[in-house]
């Protein structure tokens, strides 16, 4: 019994983190569908949903004006969800530069805010973005070029996390993001990615249908609806948005918690995603998204089943697991020692 549980959990974990990437590498060799990218200047609506962004709104607007895209082809829409920090007042200065602001005095959440923004959009292509990240000058041009291929319905850009020296981050969260982007690139080469990057993604406006109120993952629901409709949702790493990886593993945890709750919500609202003959990227979705939801339980099963298997190979795995979790504890201590010291000092002072 313990042995069966051990191997089921082991195979599950290895498949999600190593088997699936290897399968993608193999499929990419056999089934690659390159996007026929062609530079063109379609009309574009940039849509941003904001709540309290008084600190970043000016930089974001400047970033939009600096984009390498003809101003007469670019519509900038900011949809505000009951800001309380004066973001709306700051945006008034930009009205004369053509920025359109939709204001809602009652908080309704991001999905509703996006719906109101898209309702104003006139561009053939709608580019969604967040307030915090900065787009590379050519990012919109790169994204739009993908729509020369009629099979493409959505195109996601890449979020590049920078460290304090402005190099691509390579530790902890940064490393995880690099791995994630490699997976997305391979998935995109075969057919589609099961989700876009909220910081920068574009769709054909005619394919947008309003999001249900309370949707957590607009950047997964929008492209997945497009994929179910028969078009591709691709990933283009040359359309880049930048953010600083100043967030700790803890804040990434908070973000992930929300994202993964969003996955449960997504499956509840779009059960057809889990039906292989309805979803053309069923394998990718299950391996990438569902797999990540199952791995924690596999890790627990692996550890406890291993405790009942003390011989040979199993003993080595157990020692490796103990070493791994001990390192995790040290990692926790290292990233919290400043905080712990402050608490300690606070206790001493009290």
Beta partners for residue 243, in sequence order: 161
Specify the DSSP element, H or E, that contains 59: helix 57-65
Binding to another protein by residue 261, rule CB under 8 A?
A: yes
Residue 320 φ then ψ, to 5° = -60, -40
Cβ atoms of residues 152 and 35 within 8 Å:
yes
Residue 289 φ then ψ, to 5° = -85, -50
CA distance to 10, 100, 104, 191, 248, per residue, from 112 (Å) = 42, 17, 10, 29, 30
Binding to another protein by residue 33, rule CB under 8 A?
A: no
Nearest Cα to Cα of residue 3 among 316, 346, 307, 283: 307
- Kindly indicate which of the ranges 98-106, 185-193, 231-239, 293-301 contains the residues binding another protein, using the contact rule CB under 8 A: 293-301
| Least spacing, CB of residue 134 vs another protein, in Å | 7
Mask for 165-184, x = binds another protein (CB under 8 A):
-----xxxx-xx--------
| Least spacing, CB of residue 214 vs another protein, in Å | 4
Look at strands 232-244 and 125-129 and give their pairing.
unpaired
Binding to another protein by residue 18, rule CB under 8 A?
A: no
Mask for 57-96, x = binds another protein (CB under 8 A):
--x---------------------x--xx-x---------
- CB hemisphere CA count around 37 (13 angstroms): 16
Beta partners for residue 104, in sequence order: 81
Map the footprint of another protein across residues 231-250, applying CB under 8 A: 244, 246, 249-250
Look at strands 125-129 and 200-204 and give their pairing.
antiparallel
Structure tokens at 254: 């908070």
Beta partners for residue 51, in sequence order: none
User: Closest CB to another protein among 85 and 344?
Assistant: 85
| Least spacing, CB of residue 139 vs another protein, in Å | 17
Binding to another protein by residue 213, rule CB under 8 A?
A: yes
Binding to another protein by residue 304, rule CB under 8 A?
A: no
Among 92, 97, 107, 342, binds another protein (CB under 8 A): 107
| Least spacing, CB of residue 70 vs another protein, in Å | 27
Structure tokens at 324: 């791994």
What is the C-alpha separation between 228 and 273, in angstroms, rounded?
Answer: 8
User: Closest CB to another protein among 107 and 341?
Assistant: 107
| Least spacing, CB of residue 27 vs another protein, in Å | 26
Applying CB under 8 A, the residues found at the interface with another protein are 51-56, 59, 81, 84-85, 87, 107, 109-111, 132, 134, 164, 170-173, 175-176, 213-216, 244, 246, 249-250, 252-254, 256-265, 292-293, 295-297, 299, 324-325, 327-332, 334-335
């Amino acid at each position: 019994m313990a042995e069966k549980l051990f191997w089921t959990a082991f195979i599950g974990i290895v498949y999600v983190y190593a088997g699936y990437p290897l399968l993608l590498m193999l499929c990419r060799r056999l089934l690659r569908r390159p996007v026929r990218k062609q530079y063109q200047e379609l009309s574009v609506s940039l849509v941003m949903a904001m709540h309290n962004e008084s600190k970043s709104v000016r930089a974001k607007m400047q970033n939009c004006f600096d984009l390498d895209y003809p101003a007469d082809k670019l519509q900038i829409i900011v949809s505000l969800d009951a800001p309380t920090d004066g973001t709306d007042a700051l945006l008034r200065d930009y009205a004369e530069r053509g920025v359109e602001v939709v204001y809602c005095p009652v908080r309704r959440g991001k999905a509703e805010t996006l719906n109101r923004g898209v309702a104003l959009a006139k561009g053939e292509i709608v580019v969604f973005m967040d307030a915090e990240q900065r787009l590379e000058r050519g990012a919109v041009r790169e994204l739009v070029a993908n729509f020369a291929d009629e099979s493409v319905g959505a195109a996601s850009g890449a979020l590049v996390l920078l460290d304090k020296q402005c190099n691509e981050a390579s530790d902890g969260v940064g490393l995880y993001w690099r791995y994630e982007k490699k997976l997305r690139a391979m998935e995109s080469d075969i057919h589609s990615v099961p989700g876009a990057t909220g910081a920068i993604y574009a769709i054909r406006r005619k394919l947008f249908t309003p999001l249900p109120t309370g949707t957590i993952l607009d950047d997964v629901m929008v492209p997945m609806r497009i994929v179910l409709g028969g078009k591709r949702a691709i990933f283009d790493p040359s359309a880049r948005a930048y953010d600083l990886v100043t967030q700790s593993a803890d804040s990434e945890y908070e973000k992930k918690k929300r994202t993964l709750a969003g996955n449960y919500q997504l499956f509840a609202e779009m059960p057809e995603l889990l039906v292989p003959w309805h979803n053309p990227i069923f394998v990718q979705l299950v391996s990438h998204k569902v797999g990540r939801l199952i791995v924690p339980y596999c890790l627990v099963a692996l550890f406890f089943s291993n405790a009942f298997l003390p011989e040979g190979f199993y003993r080595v795995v157990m020692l490796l697991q103990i070493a791994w979790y001990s390192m995790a504890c040290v990692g926790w201590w290292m990233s919290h020692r400043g905080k712990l010291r402050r608490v300690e000092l606070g206790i001493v002072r009290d």
